[in-house]
């Protein structure tokens, strides 16, 4: 059984400490909803697990099925079975999407695929994701709309079949139809047995993919961990109750315009805005 | 490129459409090309350079008839210890003329690559459009690149822009590709391919395009 284990993980960006000891486990078949106010380390955690060199791991460990991920470069982590759908996928000038996908898929195999096998897989994946096959001839993410980029991330997840897939705000920029397609793709991977670590600010995606557990990241630590009921509580009440019940003072994001009610929770912000109207 | 004399002068006649395709696989050396474009004439030049050696390539395009246009594209791969200079200039001498000059280069090993050139809009040449793009990726610690395009504008009512970028490979791009299982080496190769390959679009002869493709694959 596949298992991603994060132990006391400490991560810094340019000497600024972001994660201050995160401990989490994601098992095969589990879907973990990762919640928390903006600027408290959710994306940092995912980037560090994937091995983004902009983030320095200063303490703790990450293991996948007993292998030490911290000793591996990002490409080896990918081959070990980790996938990250990025919040802002890079646009790569001049790199044809199909060429890229072929390189990525072949990297995950002992022997390169036949052209026939590759195009079959590619056509099916594009069809499943509701993306015109013509898009495979375009340069990778170049000039793609926000929604197209996000679907393209999920397309890559489908083709690479990871053991643990991490999705960083995959639902931002998606319309309702695209959200449905993405949720269905996630469901297929869940049935295959993949584990998920999902960051989202909206309950809608979570309602569609049924997380098995939830964790709330505050001040670079996991403040609360439990069942999916935490998601609906935060969706309804924001993060204030954590402060009241657990006595955790929520640090404000530096430089951001903040008031005590809208600490980075989009759901709360939306309700505030609606209330004003 | 060996077929081109060290100094070449050519005039694009009224309403004519001229393509110039240059490829260089072996030795780089000094060349000067002067092009004149008459009314409503169009000049489209492309240079795919995979040569080694030292030298200066000078291109001067004079747009001397109203409605004259030019489009120049260069892709240069600089390996070994070559030092290459490309001075690509365009002179808008009359109104209603258009130019796009774009130079893309890669400096590797101890290679030194210099992009310079002037886009000049002479006094009285209103309603002209001109753009210079220079971009160099510096691959290795000892490689060097400099892009210094110059805009000289002597008239109001014109559109002029330039962009010059010299830098190392984008680390976010590398990480994105690596996170999909692609090794660092292969990721660098793919990014470089993407950078040089678009030059093929400007070539007509299929056998030449094939040679360019091989030179790109073999050179990186």
Task: Give pLDDT tens digits along chain B (220 positions).
Answer: 667 788 999 999 999 999 999 999 988 989 999 999 999 999 999 999 999 999 999 999 999 999 999 999 999 999 888 999 999 999 999 999 999 999 999 999 999 999 999 999 999 999 999 999 999 999 888 999 999 999 999 999 999 999 898 988 889 999 999 999 999 999 988 988 888 988 999 998 999 999 999 988 887 6
Residue among A134, A53, A45 nearest A97 (CA): A134
Domain regions of chain B by residue span = 7-168
- What is the ipTM, given to two decimal places? 0.89
The pair of structure tokens assigned to A47 is 């980037």
Using a CB–CB cutoff of 8 Å, tell me whether A53 touches chain B: yes
Least confidently predicted of A38-47, A146-155, B38-47, B132-141: B132-141
Q: Structural domain boundaries of chain A?
A: 3-276
Q: Do residues A26 and A199 lie in contact, with contact meaning Cβ atoms separated by under 8 Å?
A: no
Q: Is B201 on the interface with A (CB under 8 A)?
A: no
Nearest chain B residue to A109 by CA distance is B181
CATH superfamily of A3-276: P-loop containing nucleotide triphosphate hydrolases (3.40.50.300)
pLDDT at A257: 39
Which helix (H) or strand (E) element contains residue B40?
none
Contacts of A100 in chain B (CB under 8 A): 177, 180, 190
- On chain A, the residues whose CB falls within 8 A of the CB of B180 are 75, 78, 100, 103-104, 107, 156, 160
- Which of A126-135, A148-157, A258-267 is the least confident region? A258-267
Q: Which of A206, A218, A205 has its CA nearest to residue A176? A: A205
Whole-model pTM: value is 0.82
Q: Does A143 touch chain B (CB under 8 A)?
A: no
Question: Number of A:B CB contacts under 8 A?
Answer: 80
């Amino acid at each position: 059984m596949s298992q991603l284990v994060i132990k006391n993980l400490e991560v810094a960006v340019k000497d600024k400490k972001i994660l201050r000891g995160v401990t989490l486990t994601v098992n095969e078949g589990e879907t973990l909803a990762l919640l928390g106010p903006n600027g408290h380390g959710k994306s940092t955690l995912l980037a560090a697990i994937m091995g983004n060199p902009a983030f320095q791991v200063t303490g703790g460990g990450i293991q996948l099925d007993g292998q030490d991920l911290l000793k591996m470069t990002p490409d080896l982590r990918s081959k070990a079975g980790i996938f990250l759908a990025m919040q802002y996928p890079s646009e790569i000038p001049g790199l044809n999407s199909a060429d890229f996908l072929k390189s990525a898929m072949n990297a995950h195999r002992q022997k390169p695929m036949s052209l026939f096998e590759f195009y079959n897989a590619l056509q099916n994946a594009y069809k499943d994701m509701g993306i015109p096959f013509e898009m495979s001839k375009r340069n990778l993410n170049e000039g793609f709309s926000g929604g197209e980029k996000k679907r393209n991330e999920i397309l890559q997840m489908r083709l690479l079949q990871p053991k643990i897939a991490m999705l960083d705000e995959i639902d931002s920029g998606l319309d309702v139809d695209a959200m449905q397609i993405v949720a269905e793709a996630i469901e297929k991977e869940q049935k295959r047995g993949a584990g998920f670590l999902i960051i989202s600010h909206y309950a809608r995606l979570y309602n569609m993919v049924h997380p098995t557990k939830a964790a709330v990241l505050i001040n670079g630590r996991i403040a609360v961990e439990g069942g999916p009921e935490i998601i609906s509580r935060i969706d309804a009440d924001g993060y204030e109750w954590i402060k009241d019940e657990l006595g955790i003072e929520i640090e404000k994001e530096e430089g951001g315009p903040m008031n005590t009610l809208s600490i980075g929770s989009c759901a709360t912000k939306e309700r505030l805005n609606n209330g004003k109207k | 490129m060996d077929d081109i004399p060290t100094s070449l002068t050519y005039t694009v006649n009224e309403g004519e459409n001229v393509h110039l395709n240059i490829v260089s696989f072996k030795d780089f050396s000094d060349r000067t090309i002067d092009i004149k474009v008459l009314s409503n004439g169009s000049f489209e030049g492309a240079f795919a350079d995979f040569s080694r050696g030292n030298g200066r390539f000078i291109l001067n395009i004079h747009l001397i008839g109203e409605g004259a246009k030019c489009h120049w594209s260069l892709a240069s791969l600089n390996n070994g210890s070559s030092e290459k200079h490309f001075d690509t200039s365009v002179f808008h001498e009359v109104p209603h003329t258009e130019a796009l000059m774009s130079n893309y280069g890669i400096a590797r090993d101890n290679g030194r690559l210099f992009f310079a050139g002037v886009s000049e809009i002479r006094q009285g040449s209103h309603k002209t459009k001109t753009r210079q793009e220079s971009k160099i990726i510096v691959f290795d610690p000892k490689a060097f690149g400099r892009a210094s395009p110059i805009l000289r504008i002597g008239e109001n009512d014109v559109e002029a822009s330039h962009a010059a970028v010299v830098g190392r490979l984008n680390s976010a791009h590398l990480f994105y590709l690596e996170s999909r299982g692609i090794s660092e080496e292969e990721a660098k190769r793919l990014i470089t391919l993407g950078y040089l390959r678009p030059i093929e679009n400007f070539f007509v002869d299929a056998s030449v395009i094939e040679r360019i493709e091989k030179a790109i694959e073999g050179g990186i």
